[in-house]
Amino acid sequence: MSYREEDYLQLSGIQHFAFCSRQWALIHLEHLWLENYQTAQGQLLHQRCHDANQDESRGDLLILRDLRVSSPTLGLSGACDVVEFHRNSQGISLQGRKGLWLPYPVEYKRGKPKPHQADELQLCAQAICLEEMLCCSIEEGSLFYGETRRRQPVAFDASLRQTVQEMATQMHQYAQRGYTPKVKPKKGCSACSLKDLCLPVLCKKRSAAKWTAEKLEEEA
Ligand code: SF4
């Protein structure tokens, strides 16, 4: 299966999808969070543009920032925060560089490691993109968390790769149908940035009229 470029979905959406497929659909299909999300994305990209000028080369290490990547098999495109290239006999050749280099993606996250696999899946999707673009195989990458100030290595094993593939397929199926999954309240809802738009409280055996009345009271 190979997707057409015009059908590519945002790679970073896989982390939303892994957290909650409804959240992903609200953001990426219904554009409910459009303004906030795109503003934040814009700022991030702006920052990344500056970072892109800060590529580094130190001996056996080459660091590229904000590297655009895509995968026809996943039908996803996006950017890697950082891709390190380590000089290694198992690596690939790079234009204008002597020797062989092994790519190693690193994704920066503001918080701390999460109880779910959303960040690992995003990083693995980046690795699959790099593999397809550079014709190589990448076994590991890292997540760097701002709160712990530590790198957490992530092995791109068969099971993680399969989950990425299955999620990307499901995202495309939902996108083609324009399907937004129904609300299924869960633990993560309280931390969800879309909870006010998604209204999970409506499912908790409260009538819409009661919920609306309570909201109006809160705002009075
Ligand atoms: S509030 Fe809950 S169900 Fe709604 S989008 Fe967020 S996580 Fe998903």
Mutate to test the pocket of ligand 1, among 28, 183, 193 (most ligand atoms within 8 A of CB): 183
Euclidean distance between CA atoms 113 and 147, whole angstroms: 9
Give domain limits for the chain: 5-181, 193-220
Answer yes or no: is pLDDT of 30 > 80.
yes
* Confidence category of residue 36, pLDDT binned at 50, 70, 90: low
CB 200 near ligand 1, within 6 Å: yes
Ligand 1: which residue has its CA nearest to atom 4?
Answer: 198
For residue 163, the one-letter residue type is: T
Asked whether the beta carbons of 86 and 180 are under 8 A apart, the reply is no
Stretch (H or E) spanning 131: helix 118-134
Would you say residue 38 has pLDDT above 80?
no
CATH number of this structure's domain 5-181, picked from the four choices 1.20.140, 3.30.300, 1.10.3470, 3.90.320: 3.90.320
Distances (CA, A) of 216 to 102, 157, 195, 202, 209: 58, 50, 17, 15, 11
Judge whether 26 and 17 are in contact, CB under 8 Å: no
- Is 198 a pocket residue for ligand 1 (Cβ < 6 Å)? yes
Is residue 51 helix, strand or coil?
helix
Asked whether 20 lines ligand 1 (CB < 6 A), one says yes
> Taking the model in full, what pTM does it have?
0.84
CB 32 near ligand 1, within 6 Å: no
Output the average pLDDT for the chain. Answer: 87
Beta bridge partners of 143: 107, 152
Residue 8 has pLDDT above 90, yes or no: yes
Question: Ligand 1: distance of its center to the CA of 38 in Å?
Answer: 19
Q: What does the pLDDT look like over 92-107, one tens digit per residue?
A: 999 888 999 999 999 9
Q: Is the CB of 189 under 6 A from ligand 1?
A: yes
CA distance 188 to 190: 6
Q: Could you give the 3-state DSSP secondary structure of residue 84? A: strand
The finding on whether 16 has its CB within 6 A of some atom of ligand 1 is no
Pocket of ligand 1 contains residue 25 by CB under 6 Å:
no
pLDDT value of position 46: 44
Distance CA 91, CA 64 (A): 16
